[in-house]
Structure 1
Amino acid sequence: MVSREFTEGGSMESQEGFTMDGTVDLKGRPVLRSKTGKWKACSFLVGYEIFERMAFYGIASNLVNYLTSKLHEGTVTSSRNVNNWTGAIWITPIFGAYIADTHWGRYWTFTIFSFIYILGMAILTLAVSVPSLKPPTCAKDVSVCPKASTFQVGIFYFGLYVLAVGTGGTKPNISTIGADQFDEFEPKERVQKVSFFNWWMFSVFLGSLFAQTFLIYIQEDIGFPVGYGVPTLGLIISVVIFLVGTPVYRHKLQKGNPFGRIAQVIVAAVRKWRVKVPANAEELYELEPKAYLAKGRFPISNTPILRFLDKAATKDSTISSPWRLCTVTQVEEAKLMIKLLPIWVAMFIPSTLVAQVNTLFIKQGNTLKRNMGPHFEIPSGSLTAFVTMSMLVSIVIYERILVKLFRKFTGNPRGITILQRMGIGLVMDVILMAVAAITEQQRIKIVKEHGLEGHPKAVAPLTVFILLPQFILMGIRDAFLEVGKLEFFYDQSPESMQSIGTSLFASTLGVGNFISASLLTTVADITGKKGHTSWILDNLNASRIYYYYALLAVLSFLNLIFFLVVSWLYVYKRETSEAFGSSHGRNAIQRENQQQSCTDVDNVNVTSMELVPK
């Protein structure tokens, strides 16, 4: 790297002005702390996220209604298709993270996929606007609607999945780019980073709130062409905002193929399964600290967990193939990622519950009175706004009040640990689905009392606001679980694999939606056999969805037990900034970030990076 010893005015810049975490500008040069990063850079990213979430939820929040009213799909089919599409939205980030860490870097991966995202939104807007591309109109008094052509259905779903590909490159990288703007070696920035994910999610749900109220109202009252055109324009604006902030962004260097490095460790350990690991960890294979620091990375000391993988770093011959001999740091990176998997699995069922918000919860709303006064009716898709508003309020209360309160008792800068925060959310999952089941049972009771079971489009004489508890509870649990989950997978991933860690967060939502689609179809099929009435029918007034919600409550309880076990066994990784906290270590890292060579790097005080509980 090229040394940046002079400011633009020609005066000498103190070494203390450069970041110490290996971040650089787009040309690979060290960056000045005073002119880059922090909330100054994050303001552009937050601005992007508000408009992008407006665009995304402008489509997602009312999609099940579009599939039902315009493409004339049934309850199970439309819910399954929404879940499958949402699943793809949250699974593709794994590939986007891989491309970012291995090939293009986070910035360029994000930028390129943003234009694919825009393309998908443009196709969807055309699909609901151009007469030859959109399905024929269905009159309200007609019982059988004309079907959309295969081409019309195909072009709409093509747009949806182009959009899913686009989000695959943006979702895992935008929040990671935001977290990269804070130097963990600078105390003030380290504290700011703790709050970043709370305010990041706040911006996410602020954009969502606009979509779930204003945009859905436009779709229902004015039409889908305008309702899709506005979020498309919003997405274009969001990308422009992101690009404007380019000069002040900090970037972390690519660290190579993360999946390949993990695979090398596993293969090397298996190939040497007979080899005995030395009792002294210093005998394991490792590079000199300067080999890492010169690349903006940090070595990790050996830990006693998953000892079998230490065989990969055990010297048994002169062979130096990376598929037979790996460094301790590489082995520890693999351990960190493997340790995340049980927590990752524990997030599948909670994500299955999230999938109900944009499908069955909205379907329930269509069967209830939604009037507010004589001239206004709440669009059923706008009910999701109550989730958003609840979460916005909860995040502010958590950040401004609860964190400070918890901190007095625990001494933890976060107030409570990340897993404790997630655990509170999982407890609320059980309560949420129990409440949803009871509410639905009361709705069906009213439906039966008025003899409406045989009328699919009948509206029960019951206010839609009886659904508010389940929507509000979902928002509160999101403030604990979803924010904590995002922070956990970023924070606990190896420094060189944090895009992959963020994609693990996204993939739990993807897997959860796929599970929801499969579970919904399976339950509908099984419960409808041998002449029995299926729990889930196209006619919700004749359905017994409360049994389905009760099933989800039981699954949530079993999942909570599983989470408590794996979180109790989990050991947090030690912060890099703690391990390299000495003045010698910080200065050495800083010098390596500014020069190609470093004569004093031997004086680096490399403190142990063993995993310790927080």
Structure 2
Amino acid sequence: MAEDSAYSKKDEAVDHVYTKDGTVDYHGNPSNKRKTGTWKACPFILGNECCERLAYYGMSTNLVLYFKKRLNQHSATASKNVSNWSGTCYITPLIGAFLADAYLGRYWTIACFSVVYVIGMTLLTLSASVSGIRPVCHGEENCHATVGQSAVCFVALYLVALGTGGIKPCVSSYGADQFDDADDAEKEHKSSFFNWFYFSINIGALIASSLLVWIQDNVGWGWGFGIPAVAMAIAVVSFFSGTRLYRNQKPGGSPLTRISQVIVASFRKFHVEVPADKSLLYELADAESAIEGSRKLDHTNDFKFFDKAAVQIPSDNAKGSVDTWRLCTVTQVEELKAILKVLPWYTYKRAIGTLR
């Protein structure tokens, strides 16, 4: 009995030292609560976000004017080019989110795409300031850009669009990864993180939309693009500086595959009745989720049709092992439900223009 009590106390001590949400440190070991995450790691993430938003808005806010004044484009052409580029900036996060969830993880996705971002910002600065690739101007309003000079500018801009695609979908959720939901004290601090996160976005946007626009109009485009490029370089340095302190979720495979499996399994079991006792729905007995780097999700009553995918019938084990296109876990079903819940909110926010 004394031995069992000693083991119990030892296990309890271990539980207090390490996170319970599956996160690991930069060595791939379970995250130590005392050495990683929470507000020890968040300043580096917030610094990265503030500088990245300053760089993005500092470069994009006045872009139509740059196309008109320096690339000698008509207003309609300049507006169309900026709209195309801006639209690309909202499409590339689909690539970044997929790579982060399926293969790279959030840390390496942010790190790799941030480097691409800095290269794009540096090239844009060079295209506005270095003789030969800078448009030739005779006075303020009489500028001419060759095809090559315009190409350099657009290559730089679309590198920035690719870079932001790896940062936008990952930074806020990476900040959330620094707080263990299984720890009530840390869970409380998570909401404070998001307050500071959006504060940092607005600080960066404010400086960009006021000071940097003035610099571009009154000092020059080389400085106007150079300062955002330096800000983005600081963002990268800030992010890498916190590497030892971060908690990282392991990539859990392609979410698109898992979502497809739930949809297919639900329609295959169209005529199957969902049991009233939801504890009878299929879930792994292990403590860990089947989705790598994720914890189990509790059943909810939304979108009940998809619960059919987690109803176990004899034919599911006909070949001796579970066919994931016929039988899915509750966690997998809830993952799809969570996405379906968020979609209306996302569509609404995009419609009224409040998403960054």
- Match in the other structure for 2:351: 349
Instruction: Give how far 1:299 is off.
Output: 2.6
- The one-letter amino acid of 1:162's match is L
1:340 aligned onto 2:355: no
Deviates more, 1:43-52 or 1:258-267: 43-52
Deviations 1:294-325 (A, max 9, x none): 96543334333322212222233134321121
Counterparts of 1:133-172 in structure 2, within 5 Å, are 133-139=133-139, 145=142, 147-172=144-169
SS at match of 1:67: helix
SS at match of 1:292: coil
Tell me the distance in 1 between the aligned counterparts of 2:340 and 2:183: 29
1:218 aligned onto 2:250: no
Closer, same or farther in 2 for the Cα pair 1:267/1:170, shift >3 Å?
same
Deviations 1:42-72 (A, max 9, x none): 1111222222222222211211210121122
Tell me the distance in 2 between the aligned counterparts of 1:129 and 1:163: 18
- Match in the other structure for 1:81: 81
Match of 2:331 among 325, 329, 332: 329
Tell me the distance in 2 between the aligned counterparts of 1:172 and 1:310: 28
- Match in the other structure for 1:311: 308
- Match in the other structure for 2:264: 267
Deviations 1:80-116 (A, max 9, x none): 3222212211221121111011101111111111111
Counterparts of 1:127-276 in structure 2, within 5 Å, are 127-139=127-139, 145=142, 147-276=144-273
Tell me the distance in 2 between the aligned counterparts of 1:55 and 1:220: 17
- Match in the other structure for 1:112: 112
CA contact (8 A) 1:284 1:314 kept: yes
CA contact (8 A) 1:289 1:299 kept: no
Instruction: Give how far 1:20 is off.
Output: 2.7
Instruction: Give how far 1:268 is off.
Output: 1.5
- The one-letter amino acid of 2:168's match is K
Instruction: Give how far 1:283 is off.
Output: 3.5
Tell me the distance in 2 between the aligned counterparts of 1:199 and 1:269: 41
- Match in the other structure for 1:123: 123
CA contact (8 A) 1:289 1:298 kept: no
Instruction: Give how far 1:163 is off.
Output: 0.8
CA contact (8 A) 2:45 2:239 kept: yes
Tell me the distance in 1 between the aligned counterparts of 2:238 and 2:288: 37
CA contact (8 A) 1:71 1:135 kept: yes
SS at match of 2:136: coil
Closer, same or farther in 2 for the Cα pair 1:266/1:295, shift >3 Å?
closer
Tell me the distance in 1 between the aligned counterparts of 2:39 and 2:137: 48
Closer, same or farther in 2 for the Cα pair 1:29/1:294, shift >3 Å?
farther
Instruction: Give how far 1:162 is off.
Output: 0.8
CA-atom RMSD in angstroms: 2.4
Tell me the distance in 2 between the aligned counterparts of 1:157 and 1:108: 26
Counterparts of 1:533-612 in structure 2, within 5 Å, are none
- Match in the other structure for 1:292: 289
Deviations 1:242-296 (A, max 9, x none): 1111111111222221111001111122233233333443433221142429965
Closer, same or farther in 2 for the Cα pair 1:162/1:281, shift >3 Å?
same
Deviations 1:399-454 (A, max 9, x none): xxxxxxxxxxxxxxxxxxxxxxxxxxxxxxxxxxxxxxxxxxxxxxxxxxxxxxxx
Closer, same or farther in 2 for the Cα pair 1:268/1:62, shift >3 Å?
same
Closer, same or farther in 2 for the Cα pair 1:155/1:43, shift >3 Å?
same
CA contact (8 A) 2:288 2:295 kept: no
SS at match of 1:266: helix
- The one-letter amino acid of 2:179's match is F
CA contact (8 A) 1:218 1:226 kept: yes
Closer, same or farther in 2 for the Cα pair 1:97/1:122, shift >3 Å?
same
- Match in the other structure for 1:99: 99
- Match in the other structure for 1:424: none
Counterparts of 1:422-571 in structure 2, within 5 Å, are 482=355
CA contact (8 A) 2:25 2:36 kept: no
- The one-letter amino acid of 2:301's match is P
Tell me the distance in 1 between the aligned counterparts of 2:237 and 2:188: 29
Q: Structure 2, unaligned stretches of length 5 or more?
A: 1-12
Deviates more, 1:311-320 or 1:64-73: 311-320
CA contact (8 A) 2:69 2:143 kept: no
- The one-letter amino acid of 2:343's match is L
CA contact (8 A) 1:275 1:311 kept: yes
Tell me the distance in 1 between the aligned counterparts of 2:300 and 2:49: 38
- Match in the other structure for 1:47: 47
- The one-letter amino acid of 2:111's match is T
- The one-letter amino acid of 1:345's match is T
- The one-letter amino acid of 1:86's match is S
- The one-letter amino acid of 2:130's match is V
- The one-letter amino acid of 2:307's match is D
| TM, length-normalised to structure 1 | 0.52
Bigger Cα Rg: 1
Closer, same or farther in 2 for the Cα pair 1:270/1:89, shift >3 Å?
same
- The one-letter amino acid of 1:130's match is V
Closer, same or farther in 2 for the Cα pair 1:58/1:294, shift >3 Å?
closer
Query: Identity rate of aligned residues, in percent?
Result: 43
Deviations 1:164-187 (A, max 9, x none): 101111222222211211222333
Tell me the distance in 2 between the aligned counterparts of 1:65 and 1:161: 18
Q: Figure out how many residues of one structure are paired with residues of the other and give that number.
A: 340
- The one-letter amino acid of 1:100's match is A
Deviates more, 1:130-139 or 1:294-303: 294-303
- The one-letter amino acid of 2:341's match is K
- The one-letter amino acid of 2:346's match is W
Closer, same or farther in 2 for the Cα pair 1:341/1:40, shift >3 Å?
same
